[in-house]
């Protein structure tokens, strides 16, 4: 597994996203068996970075992740857990309460990374970071980051955060390059910030062109692996695909070690 290291923190190029674990925007306990099977499989396979949020299945996603981790009996310090505060909870007291609730659902004393999930329409970023900085001081959060932030908001977050902003988690894939076009990717690469690419396979609906398909054939790899490798071969970029299928989980994890030549990267654009 390849890693990216910034701000004294080393993260694997491929992590595990948990959107739709336990449900979508609402909890769906009928999915618990399948969701737990997927989480257990990922833990057994060697995934160490797990990304969740308080909004995933209305918190049930965090509950299932916490349960799977406890049942695995893995050393907590071997794992890196990311969670996120929703845009409706960005007032000072709401941030603190949201984090406490996430910790309780996860069954952990701290999260390794805590993100603002989306910028809120009436967000008072200074007030939000007052609470986030406090959570770091109290040892409930190890690192801070943001998600879906444009360049201006990312820079403002850096100004307000008392610790380095570890990441901006954004949609980024061989198909969706909007955050390369708006300057966020280059800024992250130049300022020791990770760009965490979510939906790297467009939630199973990735449209691949001839370049990806031909390279996959030449490398005896799947098109999904080439799409993930394209991300993993970029500086300061990590990604968090999700799959409930054990074989696809394995393929995703192995994609991190698929080195592409400069010519192959240029071919993919």
Side-chain-side CA neighbours of 245 within 13 Å: the count stands at 5
Name the β-bridge partners of 85. Answer: 116
Instruction: Provide the pLDDT for residue 51.
Output: 98
Summarize pLDDT for 24-69 with one digit per residue, the tens: 999 999 999 999 999 999 999 999 999 999 999 999 999 999 999 9
pLDDT digits (tens, 9 = 90+) for 2-27: 999 999 999 999 999 999 999 999 99
Write down the pTM of the prediction.
0.96
Q: Stretch 66-77: mean pLDDT, rounded? A: 97
**CATH number belonging to domain 9-205+236-241:** 3.20.20.100
Taking residues 243-254, report their average pLDDT: 96
Residue 100 to residue 113: CA distance in whole angstroms: 14
Closest CA to 243 of 264, 259, 222, 257: 222
Instruction: Report the distance separating Cα 208 and Cα 211, nearest Å.
Output: 8
Per-residue pLDDT reduced to its tens digit, 112-150: 999 999 998 889 999 999 999 999 999 999 999 999 999
pLDDT digit string, tens, across residues 145-182 = 999 999 999 999 999 999 999 999 999 998 899 999 99
pLDDT tens digits, one per residue of 190-245: 999 999 999 998 776 677 788 889 899 999 999 999 999 999 999 999 999 999 99
* pLDDT on residue 170: 98
* Burial class, 147, CB count within 10 angstroms (exposed 0-12 / middle 13-18 / buried 19+): buried
pLDDT of residue 144: 98
**Of 202, 242, 245, the residue nearest 18 (C-alpha):** 242
pLDDT at position 204 is: 66
Q: How far apart are alpha carbons 40 and 78 in whole angstroms?
A: 15
The domains of the chain are located at 9-205+236-241
Within its chain, how far is the Cα of 98 from the centroid? 18
């Amino acid at each position: 597994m390849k890693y990216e290291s910034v701000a004294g923190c080393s993260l694997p190029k491929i992590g595990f996203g948990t959107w739709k674990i336990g449900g979508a925007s609402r909890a769906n306990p009928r999915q618990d068996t399948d969701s737990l099977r997927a989480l257990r499989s990922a833990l057994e396979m060697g995934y160490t970075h797990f990304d969740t949020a308080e909004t995933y299945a209305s918190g049930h996603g965090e509950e299932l992740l916490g349960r799977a981790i406890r049942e695995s009996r893995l050393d907590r310090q071997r794992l890196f857990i990311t969670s996120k505060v929703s845009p409706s909870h960005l007032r000072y007291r709401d941030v603190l309460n949201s984090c406490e609730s996430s910790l309780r659902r996860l069954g952990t004393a701290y999260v390794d990374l805590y993100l603002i999930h989306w910028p809120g329409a009436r967000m008072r970023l200074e007030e939000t970071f007052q609470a986030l900085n406090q959570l770091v001081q109290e040892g409930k959060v190890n690192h801070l980051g943001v998600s879906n932030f444009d360049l201006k908001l990312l820079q403002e977050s850096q100004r307000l955060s008392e610790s380095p902003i570890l990441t901006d988690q954004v949609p980024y894939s061989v198909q969706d390059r909007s955050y390369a076009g708006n300057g966020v990717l280059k800024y992250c690469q130049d300022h020791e910030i990770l760009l965490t690419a979510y939906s790297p396979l467009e939630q199973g609906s990735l449209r691949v062109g001839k370049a990806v398909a031909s390279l996959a054939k030449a490398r005896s790899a799947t098109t999904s692996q080439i799409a993930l490798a394209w991300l993993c071969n970029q500086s300061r970029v990590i990604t968090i695909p999700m799959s409930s299928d054990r074989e696809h989980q394995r393929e995703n994890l192995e994609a991190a070690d698929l080195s592409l030549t400069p010519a192959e990267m240029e071919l993919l654009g």
